Amino acid sequence: PWIYDLFFSELTRNRYARYFVMEKNNEVIGYLGLWHKGSSFHITNIAIAENLRRKGYGENFLKFIEKIAATHRIKKISLEVRKSNCIAQDMYRKYGYKVIKFLKNYYQEEKEDALVMEKKL
């Protein structure tokens, strides 16, 4: 999760940023952050309410991304994922994402590594 100031700046100042929310019974249960640069999307965030994880909502976001990617002629989608987040990695692999790079200490506060994953469309 991002700190408030960084998230606020992302929403108000980043011209490449696109954010979407997912609702269930009129309550926000998740959100998706994307950067749209040229013919690429970069997933910055997929967040689902903790009590609703592993119920297919993250997969719904991935399907949504591919649907809008088709309308924007997107050629690749990339993302970073924590090395420890095996559940998310498995979901991305299921949808055709492949590891292309390893980033040492990418998450600096936690000193945690990241995997860069990418899917070519």
16 has catalytic annotation: no
Tell me the C-alpha distance between 42 and 56, whole Å: 21
Which member of 66, 80, 112, 118 is catalytic? 80
What single string gives the DSSP state of each residue in 16-43? TEEEEEEEETTEEEEEEEEEEETTEEEE
Tell me the C-alpha distance between 70 and 36, whole Å: 13
Q: Which helix (H) or strand (E) holds 65?
A: helix 57-71
97 has catalytic annotation: no
Which residue numbers are catalytic? Answer: 80, 92
